[in-house]
Structure 1
């Protein structure tokens, strides 16, 4: 396939914004690689901080993505002013795909008390989910940024992996370098480390673990709403609340892009090959410790 000359870089993602944020006591940073449970975790945190509510238009209004630019003319100062204007009577929560030091890490006792929730997922599963997600970006969004669709999208997973992911080092940086950066911080008091597969296995238990970490104690009535509103069926039924419809100047995604089936252990059925899986694992073993990589792939008790 002839791909028009273009860097292929998603210029709407500008991680350097995060270095300029005026952090507050109580801020929550949700740091998750692409397609690894980010939207779900954003919603869980939002529901816990509000006591369970269906009365929101777009999760991205409630939990801003702090490295995202909504249109080419939007400045960092405009984004920072919007974050500063968020209400002070409730805690802020933010999404990022970055790991330290790109997203600032404030250890307990070093400035404002910021808590970090880090979620990881088997990279095979995340990558096969990433391919259809990119393909479901709207034409209007690519046009807004002057990017040909062919610079990032491919019709099948192997071509997407080789021509987009591996060619740009996305697999290394988004998953293994991410893990490498967070792993030494995993036992800090203000870091909660979770695995997507464990969250899927025990939805209620995982939500309660996040609540305990955040110091939130919902009533029984609030718990029932929180568990309902963070369930996959409810989020799928209200998909329009999770598709970043207010985040950009034009539509970013086609309908159905954000909330997929989210199944664990189904990477091969979605296009993963043995050769690509072997290449990925070899890369992970080169970058991270064996215990860290084992946990990344399997979840369970963390070393």
Structure 2
């Protein structure tokens, strides 16, 4: 298995090194997900489980911080770390990251602090076609704040986006390098792998599996609330709560960026061509040389 790291040349508002300095607590939950692979959905699922089903929040990013993210160019990593440390000590914390080990520190089970890692995967073709409109929906104010030209990340169609943004910057590593890094840890007792396609096929079963992994036992009154509040329809109706409106100095996203379609199996409809799909898979096999891992990455189902 090649241990290819994720590419380091990401946008300036992401600083993966921050998480190396977090003081982890017993019971922390880390949601580790490649871009556009069910991140916001899983953040909400974990939050709903930890709080027993709730609508009493304005921004999921205030509840589940992104531990690599800077809200403006003047914000220091120390500010992020101080905010994380100031979170209440009387309840479990949850965090979002797009990193995998070793960029994300991994604490094995059996240490003095038990950290649980919820690791989500999605067919990389689907994730990449979703990535292009997501970057387009970053606001002009956000790009201007960071002095990043919109044309550095945005293209009018998926083939040009793949060739000129993804491939030219080696962004396949953000997906296949993530897989290569996590795959050897898939059987660790404090790691849970979930696949987006399986979560879509069995919403309730996936959430119950996640609850069991986290050691959470909602009662009969809480379960219907949790299931409702983690549904695509409920999240779409309350979309403002999932658009990171409190995270940046200026609005990061235009409306509709975070919750787009909530579907699996539509990569071809969104611009993925057979030629790009073949190139993506070939590049992925260079990054992650485990054929079983690659096959599971694309299809989900039981772990091999």
CA distance in 1, matches of 2:53, 2:104: 28
- 1:113 Cα offset (Å): 0.9
Per the alignment, residue 284 of structure 2 pairs with: 284
CA distance in 1, matches of 2:92, 2:131: 30
Q: Deviations over 1:231-262 (max 9, x none)?
A: 00000000000000000000000000000112
Give the alignment's TM-score, normalised by structure 2.
0.96
Contact 1:46 1:62 survives alignment (8 Å): yes
- 1:75 Cα offset (Å): 0.6
Tell me the C-alpha RMSD between the 2 structures: 1.1
CA distance in 1, matches of 2:40, 2:10: 22
CA distance in 2, matches of 1:295, 1:189: 20
Q: Does 1:69 align with 2:104?
A: no
CA distance in 2, matches of 1:215, 1:235: 25
CA distance in 1, matches of 2:112, 2:165: 39
CA distance in 1, matches of 2:75, 2:286: 39
- 1:207 Cα offset (Å): 0.4
- State the SS of the aligned residue for 1:168: coil
Contact 1:58 1:246 survives alignment (8 Å): yes
CA distance in 1, matches of 2:210, 2:89: 22
Per the alignment, residue 110 of structure 2 pairs with: 109
Q: Does 1:80 align with 2:81?
A: yes
CA distance in 2, matches of 1:295, 1:62: 31
Give the alignment's TM-score, normalised by structure 1.
0.96
Per the alignment, residue 180 of structure 1 pairs with: 180
Moved over 6 A (4+): none
Per the alignment, residue 262 of structure 2 pairs with: 262
Corresponding residue pairs, total:
296
- 1:284 Cα offset (Å): 1.9
Per the alignment, residue 50 of structure 1 pairs with: 51
CA distance in 1, matches of 2:287, 2:155: 27
1:1-303 matches, within 5 Å, as: 9-171=10-172, 173-288=173-288, 289-303=290-304
Q: Name structure 2 gaps, 5 residues minimum.
A: 1-7
Per the alignment, residue 4 of structure 1 pairs with: none
- State the SS of the aligned residue for 2:13: coil
